[in-house]
Chains A and B, each alone.
Chain A
Amino acid sequence: METIASPPPGVTRAPPAAEDLIDRFGADTVQTQHCADGVPTCWVVPERLLAALAYLKPRYPMLLDLFGVDERLREHTPEPASDFSVVYHLVNLKPWREFRLKATTSAASAGLPSATALWPNANWYEREVWDMFGLRFTGHPNLRRILLPPTWQGHALRKEHPARATEMEPFSLDEERQREEQEALLFRPEEWGMDRASADTEFMFLNLGPNHPSVHGVFRIALQLDGEVVIDAVPDIGYHHRGAEKMGERQTWHSYIPYTDRVDYLGGVMNNLAYLMALETLAGVEVPPRAKVIRIMMAELFRISSHLVFYGTFAQDVGQMSPVFYMFADRERLFGIVEAITGGRMHPAWFRLGGVAQDLPEGWQRLVLDFIDSMPERLDHYQKMAMDNSILQQRTRGIGVYSQQEAIDWGITGPSLRATGVDFDLRRDRPYGGYDQFDFNIPIATGGDCYDRAAVRIEEIRESLKIIRQCVDNMPAGPFKSEHRLTTPPPRERMLEDIETLITHFLSVSWGPVVPAGEASFPIEATKGINNYHLISDGGTTSYRTRIRTPSFPALQQIPLISRGLMIPDLIAIIASIDFVMADVDR
């Protein structure tokens, strides 16, 4: 599968959206590119980028993702590529439509125009591109590093930047350097356009985090306070950054799977699924029915597990001490099932290119049924204990409200979007991996406040239980991994037929699969919202660029908008209701 600028054989015309764009801006301004996932993809010259984005916005109101690619070492380069490209991934929710717009740029140039005027959530994404690639955006309100520390040298996702510690000088931190690093992290209100005092009061600036009991990991918010009232907030992320995208460029397609588990560490195999859906699209692998249903069952078990943690910590963060222990006990039982099936618990890394690692063990039905039979009653109990409590309701109703429009503008997806009344779930509205075979409801709420965000997630637990029961009742027979030649690890039965099969097997296991050159992404409904891996293969055993779009990242960016004018305890309730994990934000 070649990546080419002209339409591939079999496709006689560019997709309608792309054609529109060409009609409007001219063929010398806009070029199309074919991608393995079939998403219309166009290149636009930098001068017309903003105009093209503005033209697309009414049809694709949500900026799902924005990221850079270092094109300099790419061999199967799409035609317009120069040194770097920036990709704008736009979507329309209902009906589901995607569009990718790409623009070329270079490190030396003055940069691309900033899209922050069109989409407020472009702000952090553009900062990330600057941080990782050193590409500038003109008109950006505050273009500074976001994931790496302000003192970092170089731009980490550039190809010349080392990916291994052994390629760099050994790290050391003497007193002088420690002082400098600390100095660099000091919060300076002026850098964010904040006043230190107003006409009648002096503000207090409070560092909430990076170590604080309620920020769910290492997350820092600098607060501008008048008494206990939050005047403004500046979220500061990056303390949990582990270079997951950079690692994608040095691990084989296969050995990257365990890294994905750790992105949303409460989501377990749900991350594997997001990665493998994109990879299988790129490699053209079809997964057999049994593997599909096993995957759905495991993914839904992890959705429940993640939502249980959310439920418990949500109650805990508004000051209720007990619920979290009940939810963790349930989660423990769930991990017992996961352990029996996969051998792992939080990070099973159990899905494989073309299927899953093993078949289900004997007696798995009983384990799963025991669990799903017991849950509805326990959920009723929790409802009475936590959600029906009047103090909890006082603390969360009408707090941290955003509208449907604001949610879409800021790229909010998943339960947090459905809490505003948008009836959209990828599992139903763009079924993938076999979800169209299942019968389940999409819970929504209309208030868009902290309470509704929690209520939607709790209802989702019940719907997931329904899906799992259908999996148990209708588990198809057959192979648990594909016969495709790229299936990893390849079926062992065919290894010893002759020398050819042995060599093929050996190469596939030692080097890993060679995935045809091309590009694909695949959004899935993960535990916290839309998780989307954009994979670029250059025809090798590793990815050329792995881009991970996570639902937590845009949610944190929105915190200042919904917390201004509220008090510190409200801010904590908002943070609790967002349901994020820092690894999912910082990757």
Chain B
Amino acid sequence: MSPLATALFGLAVLAGAVGLAAILTWFERRLLGVWQDRYGPNRLGPLGILQVVADMLKLLTKHDWVPPFADRVVFVFAPTAIVVAMLLGFAVVPFGEHLYLLDLNIGLLFFLGMTSLAVYSVLLGGLASNNKYALLGGLRSAAQMVSYEVFMGLSLMGVVMLTGSFSLRDIVLAQQDLWFCIPQVLGLYVFLVAGIAESHRLPFDLPEAEHELTAGFHTEYGGMKFAMFMLGEYLGLILICCMITTVFFGGWLGPWLPGPVWFALKTSLLICFFVLLRAAIPRPRYDQLMSLGWKYMLPLSLFNLVLTGAIALWLRGA
């Protein structure tokens, strides 16, 4: 692609991701409504989709308030970090065979790095608020992210072994015959759990945990700064779903339809799955989440790694 086309495509990805995240706020509420025997927002525009616009207007016109007891600079900076990190993550996603921004030879690591950066946003937001609920939320978030980060990376290594590359494009191309969701089913399971934890959604929304910590790390946030956090979270959700599609479900691969359509379809189904999880599952306790991580998820991902390595060696030897 020419530099101009790349720049335009980059802008399109930015706008697309942000727009999709905004629409997702409406879509999620409608979908939850379906599962919970109620309507959800259905008044504004066709199917209520203009609710997104109304919400945006509301958030934009809210008083932009920084609590006097907060650390002003960090307080303002924190919500932007998550949005920036998540948007950067989209740079390496291959939407189609020739439809991508960057084909980094360390694409997978870049994605992991960007999602890890997002934790700073939550942590700093929690600390800068100078509020006890926010502090507890920030603490939980730090612990949760650090532990889930470990095996999130490990769960992907099986795929890397099979492909022999960190490039996301190569990973998709390696799935021509068989999607990695079959040979790497353990890896998929661990990555899915870690992904939910990473995007801190129910059941792993412990940093927010409305019923315990009122709103956790963003208790003191309002208006656009709050909207940035929400935007970041929805971007994170989309990004995780894009990644699962790419790494485990063959990315753009599929018969009849053009590649990007397959990609979009798979990703949307995964998003619906994440919303269903939110509707169905209660929240474990903080220490239960930790023990799940260290006692089950970590050994499981290590086992997967060893098993994959052994089989790969055996195949090569044979």
Contacts and interface: CB of A to CB of B under 8 A. Distances in A.
Interface of A: 204, 206, 212-214, 228, 315-322, 325-326, 329, 385, 389, 391-392, 394-395, 567-570, 572
Interface of B: 32, 35-38, 132-133, 136, 202-203, 205, 209-214, 278-288
Given A214-B212, A568-B136, A572-B211, A391 B37 contact: no
B288 A213 contact: no
Contacts, number: 77
Given A325-B36, A325-B38, A212 B214 contact: yes
B136 A228 contact: yes
Contacts of B213: 568
A320 B212 contact: no
B211 A213 contact: yes
Nearest to B281: A391
Contacts of A320: 280-283
B284 A316 contact: no
A570 B285 contact: yes
B285 A569 contact: yes
A319 B202 contact: yes
Contact of B282 (A206, A315, A326): A315
5 contacts: A206-B133, A319-B205, A319-B283, A568-B212, A569-B283
Given A325-B37, A394-B284, A570-B285, A316 B211 contact: yes
B132 A206 contact: yes
A392 B281 CA distance: 9
A303 B122 CA distance: 43
Given A389-B281, A567-B286, A214 B211 contact: yes
A321 B37 CA distance: 13
Given A320-B280, A569-B212, A572-B212, 18 more contacts: A212-B214, A318-B211, A319-B203, A319-B211, A321-B202, A321-B279, A322-B279, A325-B36, A325-B37, A391-B203, A391-B281, A392-B282, A394-B285, A394-B288, A395-B285, A395-B288, A569-B283, A570-B285
Contacts of B285: 394-395, 567, 569-570
Contacts of A206: 132-133
Given A319-B203, A394-B288, A569-B285, A213 B279 contact: no
B211 A391 contact: no
Nearest to A394: B288
Contact of B37 (A228, A326, A567): A326
Contacts of A213: 210-211, 214
B132 A318 contact: no
A474 B37 CA distance: 35
A393 to B, nearest CB: 10
B16 to A, nearest CB: 29
Given A213-B214, A568-B136, A572-B212, A319 B38 contact: no
B210 to A, nearest CB: 5
B36 A326 contact: yes
Contacts of B286: 228, 567, 569
A154 B287 CA distance: 48
B205 to A, nearest CB: 8
Contacts of B278: 321
A330 to B, nearest CB: 10
A329 B37 CA distance: 8
Interface centre among A318, A321, A572 (most CB of B within 10 A): A321
Contacts of A569: 209, 212, 283, 285-286
A305 B12 CA distance: 52
A150 B213 CA distance: 27
A389 B213 CA distance: 23
Contacts of B202: 319, 321
